[in-house]
Structure 1
């Protein structure tokens, strides 16, 4: 198997989700640190435009979005499973809620005036402005919660999570599943990255104890790598043929009237408007795959989950 190369940065909540899953599955991986703000030329060389964090590289295959990365890691290392039976549908549903509704409530609370001041303490004012401008551009189509409204919602969600932990160590049973990893990462950001507003967690001690159990999982076997070498790896490899490898389903599900082979663009539904263009070579019930060529990375396949992403045909010149 080719090396797993995770492109991420330490403070990224969704990266923490993936890092913990790598730890739970005791997998070895290479760590490439990427910038927190645009421009990201080495990222774009591999993804073609997608700039959210993290993404996973295996040779010349690029897997975007933590939800899809979870599926790839499960295929590579089925045990211990993050989609245990019975109840994997419930686990996926809770995970999707956590990656969206819970995440945005938590982050609006975390990055309110008090939390933001803590994050940027000791840094020049232009650093905070640059971060704010960058994230504003990424969320241009979103309605974002005000910190007081976010805090109220966050408190309610924490109480519900506490109820889920009654009589069991993890959210849906005796072992962690994808729901646990997805719920954990925005709470991790509160506790670790914005501790000045982490007192919101104190009212749910069961959640804090669960967070301790999650943190103890660890992050697998990590080796430092760099983006230049990662691009060289992609250029030296050939992408996995459709229907083989870690996304083995190749059955065409046409919901758009766009035939395979068409030039298309894929964009996030909301956060992160930058499109990736390429030739559509797979559109299954769960994912899209684009084939594209970059002068540095060579021929790559870029993979996206269906849920959360918009597919559009690109008009020919």
Structure 2
């Protein structure tokens, strides 16, 4: 059990859909832990130490944050049908990063205008909607959000780009095989697709629509439900971790007391002891009363590392 994939997510999370589709593409069997979409998230915090974004991947007592890292871990464990094919890996990752940032933050204001919000939050009451808005407000407090009008104009432009990119008839964005770029872009269109009235914007792009159907056809793989309590028990009983190293000349040393924090939004710092640092990943060790000693992994790109300030 300690080596199996435990995926912490919720049904309507776009970034969770990205990883669910990757799991389907890989044909992976996994355990599904449903987490709350808003705070409080006591079981999530027990595993991460403060990082609250969704989703998370757990393998025993190793906790992986951010889908850029989660996707790479899944690909390393299941290398068949690679997400980063030789020859196109660099371009695929650049396109994926554009989708995870620029395209994503265009889709969000586009879909949350009244015609979309009425569908996306159709099964929640006014209090739940207000709670969701209040929960997300700190995420974007320092961002200049696009208006729905601006987001609509931008989305039309991006959809034209993608339609043109598929004009040569290939099945997927980079080649005849899917790559990380396909899943990052698909999660954004999936979120638009959930609001039928707004999803009509996709109708004028037949090649893109056909591509989207191909990606969705991968499904989500085979999952079995697991409670968050069970996942915490698995972490507490684990007695080994993924290999790590602290490479020299990267600004920190093994054993440093540090904090790790996203640089885009959801800037909740996580404190711990540095046990892994490369150009691609930072890993801290921390202890939780329920979950035991954990290694929490973050991508190096998009995260800030600081020495912990001494306690007064």
Q: TM-score range by the shorter chain?
A: over 0.9
- 3-state SS of paired residue (1:67): helix
Q: Secondary structure at the match of 2:50?
A: coil
Residue 272 (structure 1) aligns with: 266
Give SS of 2:258's match: strand
The reply on whether 1:290 has 2:284 as its aligned counterpart is: yes
Shift, 1:260, TM fit: 2.2
Q: Contact 2:246–2:254 at 8 Å: present in 1 too?
A: no
SS at match of 2:282: strand
Is the CA contact (8 Å cut-off) linking 2:22 and 2:183 kept in structure 1?
Answer: yes
**Superimposed CA distance per residue, residues 125-183 of structure 1 (whole angstroms, 9 cap, x where no aligned partner):** 11111111111112222221111101111111011111111121110110110000000
> For 1:145 and 1:196, how far apart are their aligned partners in 2?
20
Distance in 1 between the 2:240 and 2:156 partners?
Answer: 45
Q: What's the secondary structure of 2:164's corresponding residue?
A: helix
Query: How big is the alpha-carbon RMSD for the aligned residues of Structure 1 and Structure 2?
Result: 1.3
Q: Is the 8 A contact 2:246 2:253 kept in 1?
A: no
Does the alignment pair 1:37 with 2:38?
yes
1:28 aligns with 2:24: no
What SS does the aligned partner of 1:6 have? strand
Residue 114 of structure 1 corresponds to: 115
Q: Deviations over 1:200-223 (max 9, x none)?
A: 111211111111101111111111
Provide the residue aligned with 2:305 in structure 1.
311
Counterpart mapping for 1:170-189 below 5 A: 170-189=172-191
Alignment of 1:210-225 (within 5 A): 210-225=211-226
2-structure distance, mates of 1:138, 1:277? 19
| CA displacement at 1:307 relative to structure 2 | 1.0
Length, aligned pairs only: 309
The residue number in structure 2 matching 1:246 is: none
Q: TM-score, normalised by structure 1?
A: 0.94
1:232 equivalent in structure 2: 233
- Counterpart of 1:247? none
Whether the 8 Å contact between 1:263 and 1:280 is mirrored in structure 2 is: yes
3-state SS, counterpart of residue 124 of structure 2: coil
State the distance in 1 between where 2:239 and 2:294 align: 7
Aligned to 1:252: 247
Query: Structure 1's 264 and 144: CA in aligned 2 closer, same or farther, altered over 3 A?
Result: same
Structure 1 residues 18, 241: CA separation in 2 closer, same or farther (over 3 Å shift)?
closer
User: Which whole-Å CA distance do the structure 2 matches of 1:207 and 1:233 have between them?
Assistant: 42
Residue 148 (str. 1) matches residue 169 (str. 2): no
Contact map agreement 2:14 2:188 (CA 8 A) in 1? yes
Alpha-carbon distance in 2 for matches of 1:126, 1:44? 24
Tell me, in whole angstroms, the C-alpha distance in 2 between the residues paired with 1:57 and 1:76.
13
Cα deviation, residue 300, structure 1: 0.3
* Shift of residue 120, structure 1, vs aligned partner: 2.4
> What TM-score, normalized to structure 2?
0.96
* CA–CA separation in structure 2 for the residues paired with 1:60 and 1:276: 16
Q: C-alpha displacement at 1:253, in angstroms?
A: 5.0
- Cα-to-partner distance string for 1:15-49 (whole Å, 9 max, x where unaligned): 11101111111111000000000000000000000
